[in-house]
Amino acid sequence: LQFKGKIENEAIATATPDKLYLNPVFPNGLDEIPFKLAERTYPIEMNYSSDISLIMNLTLPEGYTAESIPEPIRFVTENNGIQVTYDAGFNAGKLNVTLKYIIKQLYFDPAEYATLKGIYNQRKQKFNEQIVLTKS
């Protein structure tokens, strides 16, 4: 199943007189953490595999430049069961953000719980980082 769409008027930016604060990861559940227990003694079963990609290409307003862009990340569990990548770049007045989240493995042993919880925590933190643009 593949979905392509266009979002208009989605509030992804906050403006001040000389800065724009962007959060390019739309509210879509990717900042939720399903692993709330301190530890787990029974297996983890995912409901379904998924492959989520978000590619955003923005042309910035005239006179703005990137002040702060999150560092790229890549998290991969053993056997490539879960993969998370995030990359953002600024070049010639254009901002490009790429996010990819893949779940291939549907069953995890209890010993993998801490790793899964850590990946979800880091994913939430990264996906909530803002891009700061400054008016020059």
Report strand pairing: 107-108 vs 50-59.
unpaired
State the pLDDT at residue 5: 63
DSSP one-letter code for 93: T
Q: In this predicted model, what pLDDT tens digit does every residue of 72-88 receive, in sequence order?
A: 999 888 888 999 999 99
- CB–CB of 72/89 below 8 Å? no
CA distance 103 to 81: 6
State the pLDDT at residue 29: 61
State the pLDDT at residue 77: 87
Q: In this predicted model, what pLDDT tens digit does every residue of 62-73 receive, in sequence order?
A: 888 889 999 999
Residue stretches of the chain with pLDDT short of 50: none
The residues with which 76 forms a beta bridge, in sequence order, are 83
